[in-house]
Structure 1
Amino acid sequence: MPTVPILMPQLGESIAEATVIRLDVAVGDEVKTDQEIIEVETNKAVMSVTTLCNGIVSEIRAVEGTSYSVGSLLGILEVTEEEAIRTGVDTTESLEAKNNQQQEGKSGEENLHFALDGDSYEEDPSIIPSVKGLPVPTGTMGAHYISPRMRARMDDMGLREADISAIVGTGAGGRVTVEDLERFLDYLEDWPSGPASPMRMAVADAMRRSWTRPLATVGLPVLLDRTLNHRREQNPKPGLTLYLLRALALALKEQPMTAGYLIGERVVHPRSFDIGVAVQVEDGVVVPTVRKVDQKSLSELIADYDDLVDRARRRRLTEEDSSGGIATVTNFGTFGLTTGTPIPLPNETLILGIGAGRKMPVWSKEVEAFLPATEAELLLTFDHRVVDGGGAGILLKRVAALLQKPEEL
């Protein structure tokens, strides 16, 4: 009987690999078309690998806790001739034949590394890289020029420049050499450690890319009493973050340039005011996108917002749910924090954050006395290439003003 491979599917446009977290079938099990058989975790959500046709599981190669790239062989199904013809999927035999042809066509000149300044790529075969994305403590000197030999070793280990930036270099000009890196790894050998989750690695990668831009933050205290009073009168009650989403969307609609992208010598303006909301999950943050926030009232947004946040916390977002946002709102006040410097996603120009509300004495012109009021810090981090401090300040003041008229949101 022919066999059909179970492959790691393309689970999203930007997803290159996924980690197997649960096997729902065993060898010998009979499965149906589109049956969920393997649960995997990407950097954004928990998803399932499904079968392409009816058959019997003859082999499982996937191992729980292991990451596999798109197209990797996770298992094999034994199917009938009729089923293989009906579904039109490639059999395991045909795929192996294609792979063998590709391997034979490859040149033997692979993985060549060119050295400069006599820094050749002759490594000790006894040294086996075993650390990926390793954080390093603060040192006194940073990494400067990275030689091709060092670059090749970093590629082998999955390290980025940020991972070695604090290692004290002993090479020319203070550069970090392979020997410096190996000594540092030996030094950390006995430290407590564990593998970083796909979520943590995704957050780390996004923050590295975000920080390649000149980011700046401006802040403004905002009174929340009117917003909180309005919320108490609603049924169902919108969250404070939803008020921020709506206020930011309306302010951006008036000033669309502040959410533009700088592409070469052009500023590209947003065509839709879709805004993300930062949701804390285990070991990271996910950002589902609320669509057309400028076109819907608070009451119309509640259902969509609550559904997205709930699925985000359960890691059940799709690629569409978390793409295409032009800005993000984050409410770090839920952790009791009063201020912070939120960082926008690499594909966004700005992020709006709010801290915890505090009772403060505020001067009232009506009664000419200080009265208690709930005040919170409103913060806006932005790409300074696109927006100047003045423009960011105008946008932030407009958001604060809209929060004083919650009935119009």
Structure 2
Amino acid sequence: MPTVPILMPQLGESIAEATVVRIDIAPGTEVKVDQEVIEVETSKATMGVTTLCSGIVKEIHAKEGVTYSVGTLLGLLDVTDEEVTRTGVDTLEAAADRRTAAAAAPEQEKNLHFALDDDSYEEAPAVVPSVKGLPVPAGTMGAHYISPRMRARMDEMGLREADISAIVGTGAGGRVTVEDLEKFIDYIETWPSSNASPMRLAVADAMRRSWTRPLATVGLPVRLDRVLEHRRNQEPKPGLTLYVLRAFALALVEDPASSGFLMGQKVVHPRAFDIGVAVQVEDGVVVPVLRKVDQKSLGELTNEYAEMVERARRRRLAEGDLKGGIATVTNFGTFGLTSGTPIPLPNETLILGLGAGVKKPVWSDQVEAFIPMTEAELVVTFDHRVVDGGGAGMLLNRVAQLLQQPEKL
């Protein structure tokens, strides 16, 4: 009976590995074509590995909690000759026949583009994550110059400079030596620890890359009473995040240079006002992107936004849902936080944050008395190479002005 492999698929053009989180089959299980049999987690979403044809599960090589690279053998199916003919799938036996034929005629050019290589079916070791966070105690001196020997040891251990920045160095000028690193690793050997998820590692890597730029944050209190009054009369009701998102997009249309990014000696301006929304998930944050926000009304965005957030929380976003944003909006006020300094993604210049609304007494000249008003902190963190404090301040003021006319959003 022919045998067909279940391989770790290419889940996106920038995804090279995925972690198995659930296996839904066992040897002897009958499966259908395109049936989801293994659930895997990438740095961006949870996805399913499906079968190429119908058959009976022969072997399961994958293990839950282990990360495998694209092309790794996850299992084997026993299939019928009729199913092979019907679906056109390649089999291990066919691959072996091709190799035998190629070995008998080595002078002929081999077409390996669609050929199955038996080596790719050997169980590959788990992929070691490229970023490993370490808890570190406070120190008075940190890492400065890193010697080639130290760099090589860090590469072996999958460490970044940020991971060793708080280790007290005993080398010249406070330099952290290999001996300092090894001593510290021994020191934390017995500390409680857990493996970071692919999502956590992706967030860590993105923030590390973002922090290589000079970032700054400015804030402005904004009154939300008109927004809240407008929202009460809408059905379905847009969230506060959507009001801010829409006002942010309209403000950027008026000043597109603020959302450009620096590339050498050029500032590249946005070709579309696609804006991401930070969504908290179980072990990190994902940022799905809403397209052409400047061209859609609040009503048009409400259902689209709700559906996108729901898919994000179920980790069912496609890779395309996470690409192409020029800026991000984050509502940290949902956690009761009144202020914050959010960090933009590495490929974006701006991130706009909204804090929790707070009732405050505000003087009214009309009634000559203090009246209660709902205020929230609006902040923007920006790449200071592209935007200056004055420009960021004007952008914030314009967003605040637009929020005072919610009926026009």
**TM value normalised by structure 1:** 0.89
Deviations 1:364-397 (A, max 9, x none): 2322332211111100000111111111111110
CA contact (8 A) 2:167 2:180 kept: yes
> After superposition, where does 1:306-385 map in structure 2 within 5 Å?
306-385=306-385
Deviation at 1:317, TM superposition (A): 1.1
Question: Which amino acid in structure 1 is aligned with residue 326 of structure 2?
Answer: I
The DSSP-based 3-state class of the residue aligned with 1:345 is coil
| Structure 2, unaligned runs of 5 or more | 100-115, 121-128
Q: Write the distance in 1 (CA, Å) between the matches of 2:132 and 2:402.
A: 46
Deviation at 1:174, TM superposition (A): 2.4
One-letter code aligned to 2:314: R
Tell me how far apart the structure 1 counterparts of residues 118 and 236 of structure 2 sit (CA, whole Å).
61
Deviations 1:244-275 (A, max 9, x none): 01000000011111011111111111111111
Which residue of structure 2 aligns with residue 68 of structure 1? 68
Query: RMSD in angstroms over aligned alpha carbons?
Result: 2.0
Q: CA deviation at 1:82?
A: 4.3
Distance in 2, matches of 1:90 and 1:151, equals 44
Map residues 261-300 of structure 1 onto 2, 5 A cutoff.
261-300=261-300
Q: Partners of 2:325 and 2:229 in 1: how far apart?
A: 29
> Partners of 1:186 and 1:247 in 2: how far apart?
52
* Cα distance in 1, alignment partners of residues 162 and 194 from structure 2: 19
Does structure 1 conserve the Cα–Cα contact (< 8 Å) formed by 2:277 and 2:328? yes
Distance 1:90 1:139, change over 3 A: farther
* Shift, 1:101, TM fit: 8.5
Verify the 8 A CA contact 2:132 2:201 in the aligned structure 1. no
Matched position secondary structure for 1:294? helix
Structure 1 residues 50, 376: CA separation in 2 closer, same or farther (over 3 Å shift)?
same
The alpha-carbon distance between structure 1 residues 60 and 302, as it changes in their structure 2 partners (threshold 3 A), is same
CA distance in structure 2 between the partners assigned to 1:267 and 1:82 by the alignment: 58
CA distance in 2, matches of 1:135, 1:10: 33
SS in 2 for 1:151: helix
Counterpart of 1:337, as a letter, is L
Q: After TM superposition, list the pairs within 5 Å mapping 1:182-261 onto structure 2.
A: 182-261=182-261
Stretch moving more, 77-86 or 16-25: 77-86
Runs of 4+ aligned structure 1 residues displaced above 6 Å come to none
Moved more, 174-183 or 58-67: 174-183
Tell me what 1:52 maps to.
52
Q: Deviations over 1:143-183 (max 9, x none)?
A: 12222322222222221111111111222332222221111
Change (3 A) 1:166 1:80: same
Aligned partners of 1:87, 1:156: CA distance in 2, in Å? 44
Residue matched to 1:179: 179
Counterpart of 2:158 in structure 1 is: 158
The code of the aligned residue for 2:60 comes to I
Deviations 1:189-222 (A, max 9, x none): 1111111111111111110011011100010010
In structure 2, the partner of 1:79 is 79
* Code of the aligned partner of 1:364: S
Q: Distance in 2 between matches of 1:180 and 1:4?
A: 50
Deviation at 1:133, TM superposition (A): 2.9
Q: How far apart are residue 225 of structure 1 and its match?
A: 0.4
- Figure out how many residues of one structure are paired with residues of the other and give that number: 382
CA contact (8 A) 1:133 1:158 kept: no
- How far apart in 1 are the matches of 2:171 and 2:53? 58
Which residue in the other structure is 1:107 paired with?
none
Equivalent pairs: percent with the same residue? 77
Q: How many angstroms apart in 2 are the aligned matches of 1:45 and 1:160? A: 24
How far apart are the structure 2 equivalents of 1:213 and 1:88? Answer: 51
Could you state the TM-score of these two structures normalised by the residue count of structure 2? 0.89
Question: Could you tell me which residue of structure 1 aligns to residue 126 of structure 2?
Answer: none
C-alpha distance 89-178 of structure 1, shift in aligned 2 (>3 A): farther
| Letter aligned with residue 136 of structure 2 | V
AA in 1 matched with 2:14: S
Secondary structure of the structure 2 residue equivalent to 1:28: coil
